Structure 1
Amino acid sequence: MSALLDDVLVLDLTRALAGPHAAMMLGDLGARVIKVESPTGDDTRSWGPPFMDPEDPDASRESTYFLSANRNKESITLDLKDPADQDVLARLVERADVLMENFRVGVLDRLGFPVSRLHELNPRLVVLQITGFGHDGPEATRSGFDQIAQGEGGLMSLTGLTEPTKVGVPIADLLAGMNGAYGVVAALYERERTGKGRVVHTSLLAGMVGVHAFQGTKWTVAKEVPGLAGGHHPSIAPYGMFRSRTAPVQIACGSEKLWQAFAREFDIDPAGDGFATNPERVANRDALIEVIEGLLADLDAETVLARLDAAGVPAGKVRSLDDVYSWDQTLSQGLLLDVDHPTLGPVQLPGSPLRFDDNAHSGGRETHQAPPTLGQHNDAVRAWLDEA
């Protein structure tokens, strides 16, 4: 069975996370992804701990960070300041469908590969450029790192209990990668009509602003600056994390019907003073939390969750990752991949979030490749170019 993108060749010149994640998303869908690394490798190859050590103590250590963002790729090493290696890249560009890069603005130009030259070499090429703060504007030349973007892009001002807090994963990088992959697929679709490639721009800042959602319109429309949301929804109540006797539980009364069902289950007057409507409950959130946690104080989490499930009220645990990865529901969705790494042997990775109706996972890709070792495919890729 053909994978969705099995006729697409992607040149991945990116490093760290945003760009590699975008390329990996296309690789998951069957694209051939050639990761072009400097002779010293992607920065994330040295980001640890933890590192995974193969049995051979003399073998190179593998970074779990790198492993998270580079499955389904081949790796070649090129020194893009070396004329001979620049020639190799030019030959790859001629054959590629997509080129992805996340250098600082102007770096690819200085290396001799401005967009104009890329399209001279290959008019059908789709170019993805991911930056920290945008490809133009007064701060375009700033380098972009995830935590900086979370702060500058406003997300940290919404996250935390008592002070701004970053999200526990590099969400600015991941969203930039997802947006980039989305833009590339749209450009490839357009190319089917026009025969021409185009440049797709996105940034870490754009990803942050793009997910402000109702918090953003709270400012743009209502001129109210939102603050730290903590563990509760700023616009709905009760909707958040509540303490029981044994562990926190999450409860989401996202409609009046659900609030009434919750109130009936725990003998609360749903039309009581201060709790009758969602605006009232939001205004009196602290008092509502106190009432609910008082009712849950003598109950263990499992009992609370069972009662809420029976009442039809959405609720859930706060799971640690080891619990998530052993959960039957996670396993039933095929969200983990088993691959055979060239030095580590069998390893398990978080996989693609997509499933399609004619194949269980990942757009028809029947097998997945482990993240490559540095330069693992140097000889194979050069031989392929020579055969052309």
Structure 2
Amino acid sequence: MSSQLPFAHLRVLELASVLAGPQVGQFFAELGAEVLKVESPAGDVTRTWKTSAETSATTDAPATGDASVSAYFAASNWGKQSTVLDLTTPAGQARLHQLAAHADIILTSYKPGDAEKLRADYATLSAENPRLIYGHLTGYGPDNARAGYDAVLQAEAGFMYLNAAGPGQPPQKMPVAMVDLLAAHQLKEGLLTALFQRERTGRGTLVQVSLLESALSALANQAATYLVTGHDPQPLGSGHPSIVPYGTVYQAADGQRLVLAVGTDGQFRQLCFALARSAWSIDADYQTNSARVAHRAELEQLLTQRIAEVSGTKLLAELERRAVPAGAVRSVGEALAQPSAQPMLLPGAGGLRLGLRTVAFRSPQWPAAAALSAPPTLTTAGDAGFSEPLSADDATTAGLPCVPPL
């Protein structure tokens, strides 16, 4: 890993499993950190979460290497080593303490009270390593022992209700574990803040993130609507509660499905010109966004009918020329095949065809990691540890304490 990467001298011990915590682990790995994943003898449960394409004997899907590496597991575990520890045993706990003494960050996703039973809690581990930063993910906060699951949190935080096709329609969860991903971002922000604070104080800290609070914080304008007006936002399918036309799916004459994201009155005028319906732009019912929201149903019907008469491919090109936000509805495969998506793909390794980066930002001060090691298989997850520590001179330069070898 290039020493130019910002976390090249950072050591991360990952005790978390499933998605949120491992996403944070891969984030640090992509930016140069040494990430050691600690798994139970059974392994991270997502190793067994396989799609029918992975398990079907007749599938023509690409091989995913070792049987212990599912596509789901591969989504969050590139660039890591793995070691198997039974933390219910004194020997497993002793090894964990040895590793934690040399770590900068620990990632955990234990239910409240479970880490203490395994002697893997912040108070115990930080007593031996005061610089330790301990990230703890829970479902409902440190005082609620209820386990957190993404689909349940999507339901309880209002996302499934709002994601229905319309009022009175069945609620639907999102097709990715959105609450887990939101919690991962919250935890990254907390850990980065803790690293900044450690530079000033020399001491680590406990960072706690719950799935519930992460989900609620992401309700954004939908929550503000309720808090400001007292009216509960209603589901609108893929439409937007306060902007029209925005998000609705239309189908053109050539079968192309597309969405519009018209946020200004000027963009709406350009849309009308592109559709050869300039009269709509001066109609009092549609001239302003507030009028379009009030006459949503009528305008959506007009747009649906007109777009069905034209070529979607040509319309998208014309809208781009006129700077009107619009896009084609693509499958996941089509999205990842776009030229603009290629920087987000990791070169294949370990029997995996390709991987997906978690880091979506760049800086001229450091390159993106050109490649990462493949997600570790459970069969090769032996008694791994951190690499040899920095020399005293290097550690001083990096601003890190020099620690003895493991």
TM-score normalised by the chain length of structure 2: 0.88
187-196 or 236-245, which deviates more: 236-245
Within 5 Å, which residues of 2 pair with 1:143-222? 143-161=147-165, 162-222=169-229
Three-state SS of the structure 2 residue aligned to 1:202 is strand
Q: Structure 1's 382 and 287: CA in aligned 2 closer, same or farther, altered over 3 A?
A: closer
Q: Structure 1's 59 and 196: CA in aligned 2 closer, same or farther, altered over 3 A?
A: closer
Instruction: For 1:262 and 1:60, locate their aligned partners in 2 and report how far apart those are by CA, in whole Å.
Output: 51
Corresponding position of 1:11? 13
Does structure 1 residue 349 correspond to structure 2 residue 351? no
Cα drift, residue 382 of structure 1:
8.1
Cα drift, residue 271 of structure 1:
2.5
CA contact (8 A) 1:75 1:375 kept: no
Three-state SS of the structure 2 residue aligned to 1:378 is coil
Corresponding position of 2:278? 268
For 2:69, give the aligned amino acid.
Answer: E
Does structure 1 residue 307 correspond to structure 2 residue 309? no
CA contact (8 A) 2:130 2:204 kept: yes
Consecutive unaligned residues of structure 1, counting only runs of 5 or more, are none
Within 5 Å, which residues of 2 pair with 1:114-129? 114-129=121-136
Corresponding position of 2:395? none
Once the two structures are superposed, residues 125-183 of structure 1 have per-residue CA deviations (whole angstroms, 9 ceiling, x without a partner) of 001010111112xxx11101110010111111211202211111111111111211121
Once the two structures are superposed, residues 41-86 of structure 1 have per-residue CA deviations (whole angstroms, 9 ceiling, x without a partner) of 0000111124389999x96342111011111111000000111111
For 1:148, give the aligned amino acid.
Answer: V
Q: How many residues align?
A: 377
Cα drift, residue 231 of structure 1:
1.7
For 1:348, give the aligned amino acid.
Answer: L
61-70 or 36-45, which deviates more: 61-70
Percent of aligned pairs sharing the same letter: 31
Q: Structure 1's 202 and 382: CA in aligned 2 closer, same or farther, altered over 3 A?
A: closer
- Aligned-CA RMSD value: 2.3
Cα drift, residue 310 of structure 1:
2.3
Cα drift, residue 234 of structure 1:
1.2
Instruction: For 1:72 and 1:142, locate their aligned partners in 2 and report how far apart those are by CA, in whole Å.
Output: 31
CA contact (8 A) 1:23 1:181 kept: no
For 2:188, give the aligned amino acid.
Answer: A
Corresponding position of 1:248? 257
Within 5 Å, which residues of 2 pair with 1:1-388? 1-49=3-51, 50-51=53-54, 60-136=67-143, 140-161=144-165, 162-240=169-247, 241-245=249-253, 246-266=255-275, 267-269=277-279, 270-331=281-342, 334-341=343-350, 344=351, 346-351=352-357, 352-361=359-368, 365-374=369-378, 376-381=380-385, 387-388=405-406
CA contact (8 A) 2:11 2:105 kept: yes
266-275 or 292-301, which deviates more: 266-275
196-205 or 297-306, which deviates more: 297-306
Once the two structures are superposed, residues 159-214 of structure 1 have per-residue CA deviations (whole angstroms, 9 ceiling, x without a partner) of 12022111111111111112111211110110010111111111111121111111
Q: Structure 1's 379 and 102: CA in aligned 2 closer, same or farther, altered over 3 A?
A: closer
Cα drift, residue 219 of structure 1:
0.6
Which stretches of structure 1, 4 residues or more, deviate above 3 A after TM superposition? Answer: 50-56, 58-61, 382-388
Instruction: For 1:165 and 1:155, locate their aligned partners in 2 and report how far apart those are by CA, in whole Å.
Output: 8
Cα drift, residue 26 of structure 1:
1.2
289-298 or 92-101, which deviates more: 289-298
Instruction: For 1:132 and 1:97, locate their aligned partners in 2 and report how far apart those are by CA, in whole Å.
Output: 24
TM-score normalised by the chain length of structure 1: 0.91
Q: Structure 1's 152 and 367: CA in aligned 2 closer, same or farther, altered over 3 A?
A: same
Once the two structures are superposed, residues 296-332 of structure 1 have per-residue CA deviations (whole angstroms, 9 ceiling, x without a partner) of 121121022122122221111011111112112212x
